[in-house]
A = this chain, B = another copy of it.
Amino acid sequence: MSSLLIRNVRPMGASPVDVRVQDGRIAEIGTALAAPAGAAVEEGHGALLLPGLVEGHTHLDKTMWGMDWYRNEVGTNLTDKIENERAFRHASGHDAAAQSLVLAKAFLALGTTRLRTHVDVDTQAGLRHLEGTLRTREVLREVQQIQVVAFPQSGLLGRPGTAELLDQSLAMGADVLGGLDPCAIDGDPVKSLDVLFNIAHKHQRPVDIHLHEPGAMGAFSLDLILQRTEALGMQGKVAISHGFCLGDVGAGVSERERDALLARMAKLGVVLITSAPPSRTVPPLMACRQAGVTVLGGNDGIRDTWSPYGNPDMLERAMIIGLRYNLRRDDEIEVALDTVTHSGARGCGFENYGLVPGNRADLVLVDAQTVAHAVVSRPVRKLVVAGGRVVARNGMLSADLAAL
């Protein structure tokens, strides 16, 4: 199979090295490596080398990326946004297959080689969005690892038939089972979580629960989730997305309660996924890490009926995480990048990740002096290698991928 030598790059800002890629993997990292016969050679010119970026939480199926501008006139409540989206889709026939592919390709062009996406499964759309997103996963299989989460955006209990659709979703190949606010949306947290965990346990799949619930309500739901994680032996298979309640110290959750929850999460291998929204309280990044909880970064939705913000550039997400947590020192900004690289991969369970021989050759070259410089300046991606092949140059996908 193919062989590639990338000369003169600085892994995470370290001294210059060459990287040899063979059969989709990093074969060797060292100085003055010889190009194997027939190998393609890329000159890095001293560029900063990053591992492929990781998106921990997005919604490829919802996006209107590349479409005409959607004028947002939506109300402020969570249920307003859910209802508005369902109505919009019903009227517009939004094409989740096409749109998930457009956005996944945009992620790839900007260096994201692994991502987790939540796909709406509900009694109105059925499995249509799931089918479309599974198609995108298949189309990009060789260059981008996509985890598909079957996600009950309209709630699990409110519309009979949803649990069955989720069960079918996992049977059809969804990688992860999603959940949503068992108190605030489902109104019956014990039943909601029992149904959810039973489906996941039956299929032996991980769960990823969107927990927007604030303060004491969220902490209560989180406790129920941790109980079930332990009881079902699902250690290392549970993710909490958002987890705003963990940021609500002084507003319904005491510091002692929060720290106890973090300690249990760490013990059970429950990870936390955050978009670090600037407009609300967020889980404490450094306290989570110190407690041993893996924290991943993600966009959440990108340019959809919920919000026009978001961007397939995971360096920009790292910057927003840095701004949200006031990470100013270089060592702190490296933590921001970690949430969309190593912690992202570990938290999602993406294997063979990182700039070490033997791992999948997912490489991103940018002109930046240091990691922190790359995060704050988000430079053009000079070269993106995914699964050992060059997929993008200067932000543009290669022609065959662009044509997909």
Residues on A lying within 8 angstroms of B by beta carbon are: 68-69, 71-74, 276-280, 303, 306-309, 319-320, 322-326, 328-331, 333, 369-370, 372-373, 376
Contacts and interface: CB of A to CB of B under 8 A. Distances in A.
Nearest to A250: B251
Contacts of A73: 329-331
Contact of A369 (B68, B72, B276, B303): B68
Nearest to A375: B308
B74 A329 contact: yes
Chain A contact residues, majority secondary structure: loop
Nearest to A324: B278
Contacts of A69: 369-370, 372-373
Contacts of A326: 277, 279-280
Nearest to A310: B376
A401 to B, nearest CB: 22
Contact of A322 (B309, B322, B328, B369): B309
A179 to B, nearest CB: 24
A302 to B, nearest CB: 10
A303 B376 CA distance: 9
Given A278-B323, A323-B320, A372 B329 contact: no
Given A71-B372, A308-B376, 19 more contacts: A69-B372, A69-B373, A71-B330, A72-B328, A72-B330, A73-B329, A73-B330, A74-B328, A277-B326, A278-B278, A278-B323, A279-B326, A307-B328, A308-B330, A308-B333, A309-B322, A309-B328, A309-B376, A320-B323
